[in-house]
Chains A and B, each alone.
Chain A
């Protein structure tokens, strides 16, 4: 009886072992090249007088290092703009409609390369975001994390 039980236990263990081995082999070397962070900075605008949400009448937004303009002829209180992962600072020029004052913001940061795998290469992670210069009332970094979940990285008071 005891021998029968031991044999059953051995059989079960063998089955479990091979099942695990199969799952293990199936999971080996699946390269997933997706990034965990984004290379976009999220701005939200605040009226410095009332501290209420500020809405921008945007003519265009220009980023140094990139030829095209963003948010042409649009009205926004929150915007998302690419951050340059090649150099340690990005300059944004906000051209507003006639009657509103244009402004610019220069952001500085560190870029840390994170190895994904030999196949996928690296993901540049943006770290330690800070404000180098601006010409509005105030610009505050409220969140240093760059991913889809984050709603605002930088608050702009004007």
Chain B
């Protein structure tokens, strides 16, 4: 039964990943159609940064405001260079998980750096449908108060604590960034997180890694919804090739 549940979870994650791929494929096709309708004049690669965008994750913010003993804040930023976004993301997590026999506390920070490819480079408003990779680093502290009852040897109550646990992992990201009005943007990012490595101690096995999720999961899936503010470096809109 457990294996089936795991398999279902795995299929679920893979399906979402392939759904994103199919949407990406669809977006590329649409972009191509638009271009074909106008012209297929080649636009040269520009190394000049076009804009700087800074945003905040709304999922974490809502959870922080609505839940007790939970703080998750994440700031994301990108610099647009031609059809690429250079990304920097920084976040904090502070969370208490309380059950009948445990009280687990984690707090830590994480940083993600990566590059996204924008499939909609020629969109006149600069809307983006992107796909990219990121490398993430995190540092966290963990503490656990627990009661455990063994059917043979009896009960124990104990506290354990580990600090400065380093973690690192990779992510494959995809999502959209859409202009709402003025320079306010909205976007979401779907994340496939994998290849987690973290410091091991015999004292306590970290249960949750800030920015990644459950440390025992080899692959984690995540969604972030962002509100951005964009600072353009030039007033010029993306130039579309002129009609013949």
- A residues lining the B interface (CB < 8 Å): 2, 6, 9, 13, 16-17, 19-20, 23-24, 26-27, 30, 32, 34, 39, 65-66, 82, 84-87, 110, 112-115, 117-122, 124-125, 127-128
Tell me which of B119-127, B133-141, B149-157, B166-174 binds A.
B149-157
- Quick check: B98 and A20 within 8 Å, CB to CB? no
Q: Find B2's partner among A34, A65, A128 (CB 8 Å cutoff).
A: A34
Q: Please report the C-alpha to C-alpha distance between residue A110 and residue B205 in the assembled complex, in whole angstroms.
A: 13
Q: Find A66's partner among B23, B33, B153 (CB 8 Å cutoff).
A: B153
B104 close to chain A: CB less than 8 A: yes
Closest B residue to A30 by beta carbon equals B5
Q: Mark B196-207, 1 if CB is under 8 A from A, else 0.
A: 000000111101
- Quick check: A113 and B19 within 8 Å, CB to CB? no
Given contacts A84-B150, A112-B203, A115-B102, 12 further A-B contacts (CB under 8 A): A13-B23, A16-B22, A23-B11, A23-B12, A24-B12, A24-B16, A65-B153, A65-B154, A86-B153, A86-B155, A114-B207, A119-B100
- Quick check: A121 and B99 within 8 Å, CB to CB? yes
Q: Please report the C-alpha to C-alpha distance between residue A24 and residue B156 in the assembled complex, in whole angstroms.
A: 37
Q: How many A-B residue pairs have CB under 8 A?
A: 100
Q: How far is the CB of A147 from chain B (nearest CB, A)?
A: 14
Categorize the interface residue count of chain B. 35 or more
Q: Mark B8-26, 1 if CB is under 8 A from A, else 0.
A: 1101100110010011001
- Quick check: B204 and A16 within 8 Å, CB to CB? no
Q: Mark B142-163, 1 if CB is under 8 A from A, else 0.
A: 0010111010111110101000
Chain B residues touching A, majority SS:
mixed
Q: Find A122's partner among B146, B153, B154, B155 (CB 8 Å cutoff).
A: B146
Q: Find A121's partner among B15, B33, B102, B153 (CB 8 Å cutoff).
A: B102
Q: How far is the CB of A144 from chain B (nearest CB, A)?
A: 12
Q: How far is the CB of A30 from chain B (nearest CB, A)?
A: 6
Q: Please report the C-alpha to C-alpha distance between residue A110 and residue B152 in the assembled complex, in whole angstroms.
A: 18
- Quick check: A82 and B205 within 8 Å, CB to CB? no
B237 close to chain A: CB less than 8 A: no
- Quick check: A39 and B150 within 8 Å, CB to CB? yes
Closest A residue to B200 by beta carbon equals A112
- Quick check: B9 and A27 within 8 Å, CB to CB? yes
List 21 A-B residue pairs with CB atoms under 8 Å apart, sorted by A's residue number: A2-B33, A6-B26, A16-B22, A20-B19, A23-B8, A23-B15, A24-B12, A27-B5, A27-B9, A32-B1, A32-B2, A39-B150, A84-B150, A85-B153, A112-B204, A114-B205, A114-B207, A115-B102, A118-B99, A122-B144, A128-B202
Closest A residue to B151 by beta carbon equals A82
Which residues in A have their C-beta under 8 angstroms from that of B23? 13
Which residues in B have their C-beta under 8 angstroms from that of A110? 202
Which residues in A have their C-beta under 8 angstroms from that of B19? 13, 16-17, 20
B63 close to chain A: CB less than 8 A: no
- Quick check: A113 and B99 within 8 Å, CB to CB? no
Q: How far is the CB of B4 from chain A (nearest CB, A)?
A: 10
- Quick check: B146 and A20 within 8 Å, CB to CB? no
- Quick check: A122 and B11 within 8 Å, CB to CB? no
- Quick check: B101 and A27 within 8 Å, CB to CB? no
- Quick check: A13 and B26 within 8 Å, CB to CB? yes
